[in-house]
Amino acid sequence: MTRRVGVLALQGDVREHLAALREVGADAFPVRRTTELESCDGLVLPGGESTTMAKLARTFALLEPLRARIKEGLPVFGTCAGMILLADHVVDGIEGQETLGGLDITVRRNAFGRQVDSFETDLTVAGVEGQVHAVFIRAPWVERAGAEVEVLAEAAGHPVAVRQGRLLATSFHPEVNGETRLHRLFVDLL
């Protein structure tokens, strides 16, 4: 059975995630309205700018429906800004920064530094065979992971890939370099 996986399409790496999901066999589509959100078997929160995405989600009346679907158990994969949106707590956020929550982690925004500090590295990710080439762009890291959170990968001594039940999040952008194994891991959670 083909799974319907939405990609929150308010800002960020939407096209790249759609392509990666389609490559692993998902029926992938952009999500901009509550009707589209309601038809998802799973959802990807892309990399981009977390505060902008949260503001746009509020503007388009998606913030509360997103929170409700996550609370109901919707499987979600967040990359970079998507990890921040899934986090229950944010360090170094802007005043009044909102998240969707659901993932029992505390993330630090822009933990690896500014845009000029962006980097690429190979990581071992639990559940994925072989090394994963990871692209970090103004990336967060996990400061604290709750007891139910499984750390899948670390970089610079901090968790950068985590899973809690059917929620998966990475600090890095697998979508920008054609890496699809994490998308496969997510689709398999569905």
- Written as one string, the DSSP assignment of 21-36 is HHHTT-EEEEE-SHHH
Strand arrangement, sheet containing 141-145: 87-91, 103-108, 141-145
CA distances 147 to 85, 134, 150, Å, are 20, 25, 8
User: Can you tell me whether residue 49 is helix, strand or coil?
Assistant: coil
Catalytic residue among 158, 175, 179, 183: 175
Cα separation, 107 vs 90, whole angstroms: 5
Closest C-alpha among 170, 165, 156 to residue 128: 170
Q: Identify the CA nearest to 54 among candidates 22, 81, 30, 33.
A: 81
DSSP codes, 86-134: HEEEEESPPTT------EEEEEETTTT-SGGG-EEEEEE-TTSSSEEEE
Question: Is 173 considered catalytic here?
Answer: yes
Q: Which of 16, 80, 179, 183 is catalytic?
A: 80
- Is 80 designated active site? yes
Q: Does residue 154 carry a catalytic annotation?
A: no
DSSP-derived secondary structure letter, 177: G
Catalytic entry in 16, 36, 98, 173 = 173
Hey, which residues are catalytic here? 80, 173, 175
